[in-house]
Amino acid sequence: MLLTVSHPLRDGRVAASSLLAAYRGHRPATAPVWFMRQAGRSLPEYRALRVGTDMLEACLTPDLASEITLQPVRRHGVDAAIFFSDIVIPVRAAGVDVRIVPGRGPVLAEPVRTAADVAALPALDPAALDPVREAVAATVAELGSTPLIGFAGAPYTLASYLVEGGPSKEQLRTRALMHADPDTWARLLSWCAEITGAFLAAQIAAGASAGQLFDSWAGSLSLADYTAHVAPHSERAIAPAKALGVPIVHFGVGTAELLPAMHAIGADVSGVDWRLPLDEASRRLGGTVPLQGNIDPALLAAPWAVLEAHVRDVVERGRAAPAHVVNLGHGVPPDTNPTVLTRLVELIHSL
């Protein structure tokens, strides 16, 4: 499959993007910056729009999803938009009963724990992703020269919600299933790879210029388990998007020990959380991989001078890598003062 001629990557709209240059391994004149979870609860205009609308319903309402995606770009002047959606949208689109419980996260009506549960998982009808395609198309029509990043949850993180039935700190049932019944595990991760890969590729085909795979909970895995039981499925999840020729970022939380393995699935850029300094991350990756990260989200609440010194250090350490996209080490906390984010963008662009 090829991108259509009207895709922003083919019609030249995003040709001067600093984000895409850095994702391709170059060092543009100004450092690109965007924030994970830049769309959402830190913005009063988001909270106003969301009144009375359920989270997943908002994601599947094209006008709303598009407007929420654009809000932080207008307000902060970031170098990319990230599509407003959720990692469980493809699960919902396949017909599985999942909701987002405010303050908690994705919750399944019926957890998926046995061979029979996995066998009963429904196939994803491609048409069920039409609202996603529509929202992406409406968004890139407004974004002009600013690229849109598409995203998806990695099979492990997605499977952890399915098996646990909701958010879980250590994913004990999930990791037990991996070893107790490896065949069922492989079928479950294959299903997750299939639907999440379709979700990511749908965003790219509809106009997103890069993709990010979030394996938010992979940090609870040993390197051996990650390599044997997870990495091949993550590789399959990004394959359809990669086939469209866009750069892929792979991000996890607490995944310092997994960095080379997470890069080896075919990712172009490694997202790094706040725990590992970028110069050390680059060393672990052989000095050849563009990095994204890794401002500690906690410091968004610290006095400006403290935050500024930290951000300067992050940018300095990022020079060890061939290229660097500045971001947080995880998402924007909901109680963040949005004026701090705007000021951060100005600072980073001035360095």
Active site residue 23: no
- CA 253 to each of CA 231, 250, 256, 329: distance values in angstroms, whole numbers, following the listed order: 16, 11, 8, 8
Maximum separation of any 2 CA atoms in the chain, in Å: 56
Cα-Cα-Cα-Cα dihedral sign, residues 312, 317, 322, 324: negative
The yes-or-no answer on residue 74 being catalytic is no
Of 8 and 106, the one with the shorter C-beta distance to ligand CP3 is 106
Residue among 156 and 185 whose Cβ is closer to ligand CP3: 156
Reply yes or no on whether 10 is catalytic: no
To the nearest whole angstrom, how small is the minimum distance from the Cβ of residue 259 to ligand CP3? Answer: 16
Q: How far is the CB of 86 from ligand CP3 (least distance, A)?
A: 5
Q: Which is nearer to ligand CP3, 26 or 74 (CB)?
A: 74
How far apart are the C-alpha atoms of 292 and 82, rounded to whole Å?
Answer: 14
Catalytic residue among 13, 23, 37, 79: 37
Whole-number minimum distance, CB 201 to ligand CP3, in Å? 16
Q: Is residue 275 among the annotated active site residues?
A: no
At closest approach, how far in Å is the CB of 135 from ligand CP3?
Answer: 12
Q: Rounded to the nearest whole angstrom, what is the least distance from the CB of residue 123 to ligand CP3 in the complex?
A: 23
225 catalytic per annotation? no
**Distance in angstroms (rounded) separating the CA atoms of residues 292 and 304:** 22
Q: How far is the CB of 58 from ligand CP3 (least distance, A)?
A: 8
- Residue 311, SS3? helix
Q: Which is nearer to ligand CP3, 70 or 289 (CB)?
A: 70
CA angle (52 as vertex; 46, 54 as ends), nearest 5 = 80
Report which DSSP code applies to 218: G
* Residue 272 near residue 283, CB atoms below 8 Å: no
Nearer residue to ligand CP3 within complex by CB, 12 or 103:
103
Angle between helices 155-164 and 182-206 (to 10 degrees): 120
Phi-psi region of 25 (alpha: psi -120 to 50; beta: other; left: phi over 0): left
Chain Cα centroid distance, residue 129: 18
Q: Among the options 27, 41, 187, 275, which is catalytic?
A: 41
φ/ψ (deg, to 5) at 117 = -60, -45
Smallest separation (angstroms) from ligand CP3 to the CB of 313: 23
Calculate helix-pair angle for 304-318, 338-350, nearest 10 degrees: 40
Q: What are φ and ψ of residue 84, in 5° steps? A: -80, 115
Which is closer to ligand CP3, CB of 56 or CB of 314? 56
Positions that interact with ligand CP3 (CB under 6 A) = 36-41, 50, 55, 82, 84, 86-87, 100, 102-106, 151, 153, 157, 167, 214, 216, 331
Dihedral of the alpha carbons of 263, 269, 270, 273, in degrees to the nearest 10 = -160
User: Catalytic pick from 13, 161, 226, 236?
Assistant: 161
Q: Which entry of 50, 133, 275, 319 is annotated as an active-site residue?
A: 50
Shorter beta-carbon distance to ligand CP3: residue 38 or 270: 38
**Are 38 and 74 a contacting pair, CB within 8 Å?**
no
Residue 345's H or E segment, with its range, is helix 338-350
Structural contact between residues 152 and 194, judged by C-beta atoms closer than 8 angstroms: no
Residues tagged active-site: 37, 41, 50, 86, 161
